[in-house]
Structure 1
Amino acid sequence: MDVPTKINTWQMVEPGKLEKTTIDVPELKPGEALVKIAGCGVCHTDVGYFYDGVPTVTKPPLTLGHEIAGTVVAGEASLIGKEVIVPAVMPCENCAICAAGHGNRCLKQAMPGNSLGIYGGFSDYIPVPAGDLCVVEDKKDFSLETLSVVADAITSPYQAAMKAGVKEGDVAIVIGGTGGIGVYMTQIVAALGAKEVIVIARNKEKLERALSFGATYTISTLDKDAKAISGDFRAYSKEKKLPNWGLKIFECTGTKAGQEIALGLLTFLSKLMIVGFGMVKTEYMLSRLMAFEADIMGTWGCLPQYYKPVLNMVLEGKIQVKPFVDIRPMSTILKAYEEAHSGKLVQRIVLTPDF
């Protein structure tokens, strides 16, 4: 298998500015692998880094992109020739946080497009730690680039569901359940047995689609404030005789409006998971948490050991991916950023190298 000496890449040289360039393939250390990239998804986090100047661990110039699938071409001998998904966050496995079972939030973690040196997924090759690569033994009728979204858009919601303890019979609410992560959050809680999955979002057409992908009921936020949306949910709960406690709420938008809706729905013994990233500040009376004995929790990335079961859920059809993916050449990266930044995308863009 040919091993390149150069990596073609689209670097962010400063926030808002991209440059196509080449960088050297580094000398691989023991336990590392060089992956030929099949595709890399455009995540909301990438867009935030690019336009809003959200600080990455590695400062520009660096290559963004952390939703990666590809083929190992060098490094760890047992993996050469294997098709793999690269976890969005790869823990060090050698610290107290990892030992405590929270490797997804390891402070020494390697994240492409953030803390893996200058290397990211909007390239044709990437050097990565080999230990946590998720091998795709049989991708069935999926293209490898389609499966790149498993690296974050699907596994991160799964981590949130695990942390929330979603179980058979739960009532789950997904705010932003029609977005890039929300469509998978909706499907995951449904697949895990939630008896009611209420999706709250703006676009009525996308909400109608959500009913075919795990949602049992939808509420449009169009021309409504958080209080009105809460009223709609209470009316539905009363009609369906749902409990007013123990809700599992997933805020996937990262917006002030989404967070305010989520906080307005929080009630007794409920859990609110903050899944969507944003830079907004939202006020809340913390004493309500005491009165409700409720939890608000953040969730970051996904433990590498969850990747295989999530991949199996995709391959078995429990989580639908193809309707939500739009594969494009990597040379269209700037347009992809612009469209993702507009917030109007129906599908998640996956870029394939065409240098």
Structure 2
Amino acid sequence: MPQQVQGVIARSKGAPVELVTVNVPDAGPGEAVVRILACGVCHTDLHYREGGIGDDYPYLLGHEAAGIVEQVGDDVRDLAPGDYVILNWRAVCGTCRACRRGRPWYCFNTFNATQKMTLEDGTELSPALGIGAFMDKTLVAAGQCTKVDERARPAAAGLLGCGVMAGLGAAINTGNVGRGDSVAVIGCGGVGSAAIAGARLAGASKIIAVDVDERKLAVARELGATDAINAREGDPVAQIQALTGGFGADVVIDAVGRPETWLQAFYGRDLAGTVVLVGVPTPEMTLELPLLDVFGRGGSLKSSWYGDCLPDRDFPMLIDLYLQGRLPLDAFVTEEIGIGDIEAAFDKMHAGDVLRSVVILDGPDSDSGSTNPLEAHEGEQVSA
């Protein structure tokens, strides 16, 4: 029987979010209903609210989530009620040209639930990234559910659903950072900080954090950066080169996504080095670059989509590393909040005061005991 639950929507561009009643259908073929335990507040949710992704309002927000499978469609065989899962927005099809070539992390035909969740008056909702998890329960495609070890804390585990995976994957998968490599990360917000953690996990010998906010640089050091550059205090390209014997880094990751930061990444890498763009540009941004410099410097210029991850491969592995104490996912949880606190979380995100606010949906709001390292320092903010 369809259920009615409380969920958070963006009804129109720029309007404050609303807590409303949402109709969630029973799971149909290829679908699952998931009870949400925790969901991170991501920049992408804010982009949806502000019209930066489309105009298919009302949007059902939230997508960085962990939860318990409650119901599955009759044809679903590899998922069952009671499974502890992280939700993902890359449910690969297995049949597109990327999947057939053995590159499912580039799947060009990812899919979502077929049925629509609605408001009480029947208005169809557009779930953020096909998920919509600022809600007690949500309907997704079964392939969007990745089973992981149930010992992982939901507030931390759910962050692999988007931003943290994007950063980790930018270093490990897209950048192919290897043991002994030098890495620079431009922009040390949630995604950039995760890229630093990923570079450390991969065994990089020098990890250079670049930002304009001393608070973020301090957090970057805690997550594995060996060096920190405040870009307000001089040319970051020259400083990256000075820290790498005058050559530049083997891999430079742009976690901001602006023309000026991409050019810093391009010129801050060594000859034949790699540039990874994981920060998302806006549609009006353009880039001008001498073609001879592209030819003469060689190497690779890459974009990283969702950290080029394959959820069924990467999520369980990363959760295992988290449980072993080798991946500090808890460090990304700045605060745990209630479902009514999302607008305030957007404000903190915009000000650069948090890595992640995480909405706790299973029972009363809990106190994680985590401190906010970004509130421990004064300074200017950057929305990297």
Query: Scaled by the length of structure 2, what TM-score is found?
Result: 0.81
Structure 2 counterpart of 1:9:
7
Counterpart CA distance in 2 for 1:73 and 1:189 is 36
1:107-146 map, 5 Å: 107-110=108-111, 113-116=127-130, 119-139=131-151, 142-146=152-156
Instruction: Verify the 8 A CA contact 1:72 1:82 in the aligned structure 2.
Output: yes
For structure 2, the 5+ residue unaligned runs are 113-125, 365-384
CA 1:31 to 1:120, structure 2 compared with 1: closer, same or farther past 3 Å?
same
Instruction: Tell me the alpha carbon deviations over residues 54-113 of structure 1, each in whole angstroms, 9 at most, x when there is no partner.
Output: 234x81112122211111111157421121111132222221122224433433224794
Provide the secondary structure at the position in 2 that maps to 1:253: coil
Instruction: Tell me the alpha carbon deviations over residues 298-341 of structure 1, each in whole angstroms, 9 at most, x when there is no partner.
Output: 11112222111122222222221223212110111111122212
For structure 1, the 5+ residue unaligned runs are none
Instruction: Verify the 8 A CA contact 2:240 2:249 in the aligned structure 1.
Output: no
Structure 1 counterpart of 2:293:
288
Provide the secondary structure at the position in 1 that maps to 2:67: strand
Counterpart CA distance in 2 for 1:316 and 1:196 is 23
Amino acid at match of 1:210: A
Matched, 1:19 2:49: no
CA 1:246 to 1:232, structure 2 compared with 1: closer, same or farther past 3 Å?
closer
Structure 2 counterpart of 1:175:
186
Structure 1 counterpart of 2:59:
62
Matched, 1:321 2:329: yes
Instruction: Verify the 8 A CA contact 1:158 1:310 in the aligned structure 2.
Output: no
Instruction: Verify the 8 A CA contact 1:45 1:277 in the aligned structure 2.
Output: no
Counterpart CA distance in 1 for 2:53 and 2:331 is 32
CA RMSD of aligned residues (A): 2.4
Counterpart CA distance in 2 for 1:147 and 1:31 is 24
Amino acid at match of 1:333: I
Provide the secondary structure at the position in 1 that maps to 2:94: coil
Structure 2 counterpart of 1:210:
220
1:272-287 map, 5 Å: 272-279=275-282, 280-287=285-292
Between stretches 301-310 and 324-333, larger displacement belongs to 301-310
CA 1:106 to 1:59, structure 2 compared with 1: closer, same or farther past 3 Å?
farther
Task: Give % identity.
Answer: 25
Matched, 1:184 2:185: no
Counterpart CA distance in 1 for 2:132 and 2:268 is 38
Shift of 1:246: 6.7
Counterpart CA distance in 2 for 1:292 and 1:348 is 37
Shift of 1:184: 1.2
Instruction: Tell me the alpha carbon deviations over residues 106-151 of structure 1, each in whole angstroms, 9 at most, x when there is no partner.
Output: 33224794452xx511111111122352223242xx5312321111
Shift of 1:183: 1.3
Instruction: Verify the 8 A CA contact 2:278 2:305 in the aligned structure 1.
Output: yes
Structure 1 counterpart of 2:167:
157
Counterpart CA distance in 2 for 1:230 and 1:40 is 37
Structure 2 counterpart of 1:90:
91
Matched residues, number: 338
Amino acid at match of 2:257: G
Instruction: Verify the 8 A CA contact 1:166 1:194 in the aligned structure 2.
Output: yes
1:236-275 map, 5 Å: 236-238=243-245, 244=247, 247-275=250-278
Amino acid at match of 1:153: G
Amino acid at match of 1:299: S
Instruction: Verify the 8 A CA contact 2:275 2:300 in the aligned structure 1.
Output: yes
Matched, 1:74 2:75: no
Query: Scaled by the length of structure 1, what TM-score is found?
Result: 0.87
Provide the secondary structure at the position in 2 that maps to 1:281: coil
Counterpart CA distance in 2 for 1:207 and 1:315 is 26
Shift of 1:272: 0.6
Instruction: Verify the 8 A CA contact 2:2 2:24 in the aligned structure 1.
Output: yes
